[in-house]
Amino acid sequence: MTINITTWGPDTCSCEFSYTTDDENPNNSTFYAVHNVCPHHAHLATPHLAKKADHMAKTQTKMTHIHTAIQRNVEQHQQALARATRRTHRQDLEALEPTIHQHNAKVKMMFEDIFGEPFAHDEHIYKAVLAENQTKNIAIGHLIEQNPHLKHEDITFSHDKARKLTLHLTKDAETKPTEQKFGVTIRRVG
Q: pLDDT per residue over 14-24, tens digit each?
A: 999 999 988 78
pLDDT band at 43 (very low <50, low <70, confident <90, very high): very high
pLDDT band at 47 (very low <50, low <70, confident <90, very high): confident
Query: Which 8-state DSSP code applies to residue 178?
Result: -
Stated pTM of the model: 0.82
Q: Which whole number is the average pLDDT over 166-171?
A: 82
pLDDT: which is higher, 70 or 179: 70
pLDDT: which is higher, 28 or 179: 28
Q: Which whole number is the average pLDDT over 3-16?
A: 93
Query: Which 8-state DSSP code applies to residue 16?
Result: E
Range with lowest mean pLDDT among 20-24, 145-149, 162-166, 180-184: 180-184
- The length of the chain in residues reads 190
pLDDT of 181 > 80? The answer is no
Query: Which 8-state DSSP code applies to residue 154?
Result: G
Which residues does 87 contact at the CB level (< 8 Å), separation at least 6? none
Domain boundaries, the chain: 3-122, 125-188
